[in-house]
């Protein structure tokens, strides 16, 4: 077993072997989740707090379910409506919670680096559930698991990531993960939605979607993040859909067995054709949701093991 991390802040800090470790363990949790009795006790007695500074339905539900299935006591803090509105800073909120001795802290925040900041102030394990435009590590891991189960491997594939790359933490985490696992990556989207310095990332960049999709094994669509845009990135949604929306015609340029992915929530008719999204022969979007719970169980399981080890060492240390 190779997984040394204390926190899960980003894919950037994970070694390829650690990624494989998560995926292998997650595979086992997929099996558990398909049983009628989905109970495990690896987190029994532990407290998990979900702090979502940004609204989220699916990720928060996924983390909550993952914690409950592993036997943790799960608490959801809807920070969006609480003390933060009264002017309390992120660090003070974190230190207050820390004093209640949680073991796992799941955090989503609208500012890049906010979860790193928080992790430096608490002594439990912190899981990044998305910070600004920085990283969303569990999403990249669940995408990797979905690809590995559909394609049989997570190496030497051609993966096209399409759409709003600039505003997407999902794209960043996936870029790093897929790069670490030695895949060929193509980014497709209008140049206004590409991050700066993209030429130095070691990826192919396309603004013609049909060309970009040629020979792709995996097509990852991204949501157009209207809430992060301060205006004027694209002329209109209909022009965007015409040029970058995934439909059967554009998909025909990819490999015939290419899978279609989307992290959700989808804007049907903006970045993806509704029928295509529901096509069980091509779309693995529902699988992604299923893998999400398993991957989060695996991550929390591994972090909890490291936490126990660390605390064990501390106790031994004080006794001597």
In the complex, the residues that contact other proteins under the rule CB under 8 A are 12, 89-91, 109, 111-114, 116-117, 131-135, 166, 169, 172, 195-198, 200-201, 230
Provide, rounded to whole angstroms, the least separation between the CB of residue 199 and other proteins.
8
Q: Known catalytic residue: 101?
A: no
Provide, rounded to whole angstroms, the least separation between the CB of residue 114 and other proteins.
4
CA atoms of 250 and 244, how far apart (whole Å): 9
Cβ(160)–Cβ(220) below 8 Å: yes
Residue with tokens 């979860």: 115
Nearer of residues 132 and 245 to other proteins, judged by Cβ: 132
| Catalytic residue selected from 34, 58, 121, 211 | 58
| Catalytic residue selected from 7, 69, 108, 134 | 108
Q: Known catalytic residue: 36?
A: no
Q: Known catalytic residue: 108?
A: yes
Provide, rounded to whole angstroms, the least separation between the CB of residue 84 and other proteins.
12
Binding region: 58-59, 86, 108, 136, 139, 169, 223, 264-265
Nearer of residues 105 and 298 to other proteins, judged by Cβ: 105
Provide, rounded to whole angstroms, the least separation between the CB of residue 200 and other proteins.
4
Cβ(129)–Cβ(155) below 8 Å: no
Say how many C-beta atoms besides its own lie within 10 A of residue 228's C-beta.
Answer: 15
CA atoms of 210 and 130, how far apart (whole Å): 30
CA atoms of 296 and 314, how far apart (whole Å): 27
CA atoms of 137 and 144, how far apart (whole Å): 11
Cβ(8)–Cβ(128) below 8 Å: yes
| Catalytic residue selected from 136, 148, 167, 282 | 136
CA atoms of 188 and 217, how far apart (whole Å): 14
Query: Among 41, 168, 63, 62, which residue's Cα sits nearest to residue 112?
Result: 168
What one-character-per-residue DSSP string does 228-246 give?
G--S-SSS-HHHHHHHH-B
Q: Which residues pair with 221 in a beta bridge?
A: 162
Provide, rounded to whole angstroms, the least separation between the CB of residue 194 and other proteins.
9
| Catalytic residue selected from 59, 138, 146, 158 | 59
Task: Tabulate helix, strand, coil % of the chain (nearest 5).
Answer: 45, 15, 40
Non-local (6+) Cβ contacts of 256 within 8 A are: none
Binding region for L-aspartate: 86, 169, 223
Nearer of residues 54 and 237 to other proteins, judged by Cβ: 54
Binding region for carbamoyl phosphate: 58-59, 108, 136, 139, 264-265
Nearer of residues 47 and 116 to other proteins, judged by Cβ: 116
Give catalytic residues, as residue numbers: 58-59, 86, 108, 136
């Amino acid at each position: 077993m190779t997984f040394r991390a204390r926190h899960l802040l980003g894919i950037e800090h994970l070694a390829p072997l650690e990624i494989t470790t998560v995926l292998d363990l997650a595979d086992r949790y997929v099996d558990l989740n398909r049983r009628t009795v989905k109970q495990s006790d690896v987190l029994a007695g532990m407290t998990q707090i979900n702090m979502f500074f940004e609204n989220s339905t699916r990720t928060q539900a996924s983390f909550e379910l993952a914690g409950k299935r592993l036997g943790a006591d799960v608490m959801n803090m809807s920070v969006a409506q609480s003390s933060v509105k009264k002017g309390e800073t992120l660090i003070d909120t974190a230190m207050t919670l820390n004093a209640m001795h949680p073991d796992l802290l799941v955090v989503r925040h609208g500012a890049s680096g906010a979860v790193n900041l928080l992790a430096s102030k608490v002594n439990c394990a912190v899981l990044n559930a998305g910070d600004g435009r920085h990283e969303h590590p569990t999403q990249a891991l669940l995408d990797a698991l979905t690809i590995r189960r559909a394609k049989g491997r997570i190496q030497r594939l051609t993966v096209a990531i399409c759409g709003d790359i600039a505003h997407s933490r999902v794209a960043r985490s996936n870029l790093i993960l897929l790069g670490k696992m030695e895949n060929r990556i193509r980014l497709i989207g209008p140049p206004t939605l590409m991050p700066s310095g993209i030429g130095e990332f070691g990826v192919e960049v396309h603004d013609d979607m049909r060309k970009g999709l040629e020979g792709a094994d995996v097509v990852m669509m991204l949501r157009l993040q209207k809430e992060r845009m301060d205006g004027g990135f694209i002329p209109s949604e209909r022009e965007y859909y015409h040029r970058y929306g995934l439909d059967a015609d554009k998909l025909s340029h990819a490999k015939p067995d290419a899978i279609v992915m989307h992290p959700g929530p989808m804007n049907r008719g903006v970045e993806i054709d509704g029928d295509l999204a529901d096509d069980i022969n091509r779309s693995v979007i529902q699988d992604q949701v299923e893998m999400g719970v398993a991957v989060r169980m695996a991550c929390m399981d591994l972090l909890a093991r490291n936490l126990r080890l660390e605390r064990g060492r501390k106790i031994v240390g004080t006794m001597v």
